[in-house]
């Protein structure tokens, strides 16, 4: 039922941003929700099933004078940028079979039943008559009110941009830029996630013993390498970025016996002979390596028969950029107000990540199956997978990090494999 007091319709406001002559009607529906709506942008009753449907999922046939919803017919998708959208549904009339656009696009092209006089609105609203398309305000897609962007505006933390090509970016240069900011964070073992969730599981799965030869691939500033060396392991660390300079400087001071080499992970065979190492570890790096297939192949090459390979990555399904979070209400610091949103699990385009430190990192998101299939191709048999969950102890010690967050969703995936090529 209509209620008193003026609240602007969500859709009217967004359409007005594109076409300045669009009238903004009072919202009489969903007034306390995220998208209050006017009668025009509310629901219409399907002439076949009798159910009320959202205006963007129902069409009007001016010949039969009937509404048909997309639950009563096989809709088609039409790609076209209009207002705040980039597609609309074409829905066949359940009587004559002719396709008509859903009411969102019908309004845009001037064929909405209210615009052409087929139906008179039951409430007092202003009806828009479209101006010529060349008078529309220029816009870029996705519009900020479009789909996920509308939701993400409530509290998106990490800004990221999908790249259709690397466009001048490469992992080495981005990490070279990040290095001075990144390295000091790991001087005492790393951040909360590394200290309490990632590394305990990496070390558990690695099951290292004294005097083993372990290769630390993409070792960065040497956090993992130093820990292993202090346990009596013979460690070699390789990295392509300036992060390794910090590791070398610290080794010169501490003299733990670690050998550091500036080397691309895709070229291990150029420096090491076949079956050189008992174990290989790659901590939080494979998702940052462009050619992960070549890297896994090279790791298998330098790993001994029955040798162990352990790697950790941001979780392909639940971490940025595949998954993001937002808070309702925006800015709330209570984790029960923090929601996760899956964006596109199958989008493998390179992604620029902005964590708010005036630096950008480059990631290469991939489905879990992509990693596992490459392991299989290179005789690396899966032994165990771990998705670290915050324990009750961590919840008590770090409630803001863990409660209703790390104890609900895994941010990281850790995999243990063994090399088996014998028949």
Q: In the chain, pLDDT over 70 holds for what percent of residues?
A: 98
The pLDDT score that the predictor gives to residue 139 is: 79
The pLDDT score that the predictor gives to residue 8 is: 97
The pLDDT score that the predictor gives to residue 329 is: 83
- What is the mean pLDDT of the segment spanning 112-135? 91
Rounded Cα gap, residues 390 and 298, in angstroms: 33
- What is the mean pLDDT of the segment spanning 392-410? 95
pLDDT band at 183 (very low <50, low <70, confident <90, very high): very high
The pLDDT score that the predictor gives to residue 114 is: 98
Instruction: Say which CATH topology domain 160-419 has.
Output: Rossmann fold (3.40.50)
CB atoms within 10 A of CB 79: 7
Evaluate if residue 362 carries a pLDDT over 90: yes
Closest CA to 93 of 121, 118, 56, 58: 58
- What is the mean pLDDT of the segment spanning 344-360? 87
4, burial (CB in 10 Å: exposed 0-12, middle 13-18, buried 19+): exposed
**Digit-coded pLDDT (tens) for 300-331:** 999 999 999 999 999 999 999 999 888 888 88
The pLDDT score that the predictor gives to residue 148 is: 82
Question: What single DSSP character describes residue 321?
Answer: T
Evaluate if residue 356 carries a pLDDT over 80: no
The pLDDT score that the predictor gives to residue 98 is: 98
pLDDT band at 3 (very low <50, low <70, confident <90, very high): low
Q: CA angle, corner 254, sides to 252 and 256, nearest 5?
A: 95
pTM for the structure as a whole: 0.88
Strands 259-262 and 159-162: unpaired
The strand ranges marked E within 268-420 are: 277-283, 303-314, 323-327, 338-342, 351-354, 360-363, 380-386, 412-419
Evaluate if residue 360 carries a pLDDT over 90: no
Q: In Å, what is the CA distance from 216 to each residue of 258, 337, 364?
A: 10, 39, 20
Helix (H, G, I), strand (E, B) or coil at 102: strand
pLDDT band at 423 (very low <50, low <70, confident <90, very high): low
CB 41 within 8 A of CB 55: yes
In which residue ranges of the chain is CATH 3.40.50.150 found? Answer: 160-419
Rounded Cα gap, residues 202 and 355, in angstroms: 24
The pLDDT score that the predictor gives to residue 156 is: 67
Closest CA to 154 of 287, 303, 289, 326: 326
Non-local (6+) Cβ contacts of 126 within 8 A are 23, 25
Evaluate if residue 142 carries a pLDDT over 90: no
Residue 373 phi/psi, 5-degree rounding, is: -65, -35
Residue predicted with more confidence, 311 or 354:
311
Evaluate if residue 127 carries a pLDDT over 90: yes
Rounded Cα gap, residues 13 and 123, in angstroms: 19
Evaluate if residue 1 carries a pLDDT over 50: no
- What is the mean pLDDT of the segment spanning 58-76? 98
**Digit-coded pLDDT (tens) for 202-247:** 999 999 999 999 999 999 999 999 999 999 999 999 999 999 999 9
Residue predicted with more confidence, 144 or 165:
165
């Amino acid at each position: 039922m209509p209620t008193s007091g003026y609240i602007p319709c969500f859709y009217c406001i967004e359409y007005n941003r594109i076409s300045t002559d669009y009238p903004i009607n009072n919202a009489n529906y969903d007034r306390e929700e995220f998208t209050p709506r006017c009668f025009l942008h509310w629901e219409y009753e399907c002439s076949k099933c009798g159910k009320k449907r959202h205006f963007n999922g129902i069409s009007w046939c001016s010949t039969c004078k009937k509404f048909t919803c997309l639950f009563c017919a096989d809709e088609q998708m039409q790609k076209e940028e209009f207002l705040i959208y980039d597609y609309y549904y074409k829905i066949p009339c359940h009587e004559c079979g002719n396709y008509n656009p859903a009411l969102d696009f019908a309004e845009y092209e001037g064929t909405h039943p209210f615009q052409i006089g087929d139906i008179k609105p039951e409430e007092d609203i202003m009806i828009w008559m479209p101006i010529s398309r060349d008078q529309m305000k220029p816009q870029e897609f996705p519009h900020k009110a479009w789909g996920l962007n509308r939701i993400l505006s409530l509290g998106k933390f990490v800004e990221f941009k999908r790249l259709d090509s690397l466009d001048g970016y490469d992992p080495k240069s981005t990490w070279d830029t990040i290095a001075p900011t990144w390295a000091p964070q790991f001087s005492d073992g790393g951040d909360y996630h590394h200290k309490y969730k990632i590394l305990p599981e990496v070390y558990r799965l690695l099951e290292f013993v004294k005097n083993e030869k372990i290769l630390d691939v993409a070792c960065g500033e040497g956090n993992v390498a130093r820990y292993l060396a202090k346990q009596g392991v013979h460690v070699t660390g390789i990295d392509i970025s300036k992060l390794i300079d910090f590791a070398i400087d610290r080794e010169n001071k501490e003299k733990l016996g670690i050998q550091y080499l500036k080397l691309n992970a895709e070229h291990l065979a150029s420096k090491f002979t076949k079956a050189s190492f008992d174990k290989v570890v790659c901590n939080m790096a494979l998702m940052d390596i462009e050619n992960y297939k070549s890297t896994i192949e090279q790791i298998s090459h330098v790993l001994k028969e029955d040798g162990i390979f352990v790697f950790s990555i941001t979780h392909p399904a639940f971490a940025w950029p595949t998954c993001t979070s937002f808070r309702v209400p925006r800015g709330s610091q209570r984790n029960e107000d923090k929601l996760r949103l899956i964006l596109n699990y199958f989008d493998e385009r390179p992604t620029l990540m902005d964590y708010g430190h005036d630096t950008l990192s480059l990631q290469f998101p991939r489905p879990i199956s992509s990693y596992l299939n490459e392991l299989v191709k290179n005789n690396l048999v899966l032994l165990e997978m771990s998705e670290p969950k915050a324990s009750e102890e961590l919840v008590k010690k770090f409630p803001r990090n863990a409660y209703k967050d790390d104890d609900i969703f895994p941010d990281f995936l850790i995999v243990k494999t063994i090399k088996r090529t014998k028949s």
